[in-house]
Structure 1
Amino acid sequence: MGGTVRPDGISPAAVEAAPGLWRVDLQRHDLSVPGREVVQTRVEFTPDSPPFTHFHPGEEIIYVLQGSLEYRLDGHPPVVCHAGDALTVGYGVHHQARNVGRGIAVELATYVVEKGKPLLTRVD
């Protein structure tokens, strides 16, 4: 990733996806499995970013790069992941994430999803 980090700690290439939630799309490619693609995104959370429930049309593999994030997956107790921790969210599982630290928290999200479907669907 190029560029200078902004004073608030957010990557200059990031696009705000929701209040306090910034996304940087890194790559998107078709897979050898018909109808599937991989999408890799850097997601940056401010401490005041409100969590929202959502799901994906495939698996999400998470690696926490910076800070601490609490994940709530339907049917499971909350889990806090710190920099260096990994977590996998299954196909269609409703979940949410929130920053439980004081600074910017960052995850690398790799999605193995059905091609042509929305990457993220909010559950209200």
Structure 2
Amino acid sequence: MIDRRSLLRTSGVAATGALAAAALSPSAHAAEAADLTRVPRQVGSDPTEGVTRTLLQEHPSPAKGWEAVQTLVEIPRHRESGRHSHPGVEVGYIIRGEVLMKFDDRPALRLCTGDPFFIPSGAIHNAVNVGKVTTMMLSTYVVDETKPLVTMY
């Protein structure tokens, strides 16, 4: 398990500026469509290298023992989040880019700029950047406050 504080790193970029700058026009969205079945990697390289999770906000939930956490996740081209799960639900939105969201227990989802997504509590998943730009995802979690935000597999 990974400690929540060590996993979430601040990037020094204002969150509102990063979100505003990330919007893509429909023509840019079409231009970034690519072969979603092939993700080249360098032999021996860490597929999660360069992935960042920036903590935007964290608040107690109205339900005792739970908290709401919001992050900005950035996944560089040809990289992935790594197989992981959360101790609660994840509600997300693709700000920019394309990912293939792979699951251990269900079919994968192709998600593009503007797509929302929902990850059930405990579902093991891996977001693979299959586009031509660094993917930016806004993820909001409602999680058990006594457990790490992310458990890697």
Give the structure-1-normalised TM-score: 0.83
1:36–1:112: 8 Å Cα contact kept in structure 2?
yes
Corresponding residue for 2:58?
Answer: 28
In terms of fraction of residues, the more helix-rich structure is: 2
- TM superposition shift of 1:97: 0.5
Q: Is the 8 A contact 2:53 2:74 kept in 1?
A: yes
Determine if contact 1:20/1:48 at 8 Å carries over to the other structure.
no
Q: Aligned letter for 2:106?
A: H
Larger strand share, 1 or 2: 1
Report which stretch shifted further, 38-47 or 18-27.
Answer: 18-27
Q: Is the aligned partner of 1:63 residue 2:93?
A: yes
Alignment of 1:75-94 (within 5 A): 75-94=105-124
User: How far is 1:51 from its partner?
Assistant: 4.4
Residue 59 of structure 2: SS of its match in structure 1?
strand
1:2 matched to 2:14: yes
Q: Please tell me whether the aligned partners of residues 31 and 37 of structure 1 are also in contact (alpha carbons under 8 angstroms).
A: yes
Paired AA for residue 113 in structure 1: V
- The SS at the match of 1:92 is coil
Over the matched positions of the two proteins, sequence identity in percent amounts to: 34
Q: What is the TM-score when the length of structure 2 is the normalising length?
A: 0.68
Q: Work out the number of aligned pairs and report it.
A: 112
- Alignment partner of 2:62: what SS? coil
**Rounded Cα–Cα distance in structure 2 between residues aligned with 1:87 and 1:40:** 14
Q: Is the 8 A contact 1:20 1:50 kept in 2?
A: no
Larger Rg computed on CA atoms: 2
- Give the 4+ runs in structure 1 shifted more than 2 A: 1-5
CA deviations over 1:54-98 (Å, ceiling 9, x no partner): 100000111000011110122211111111101111010111101
Name stretches of at least 5 consecutive residues in structure 2 with no aligned partner: 1-12, 23-47
Name structure 1 gaps, 5 residues minimum: 10-17
- Native 8 Å contact 2:78 2:130 kept in 1: no
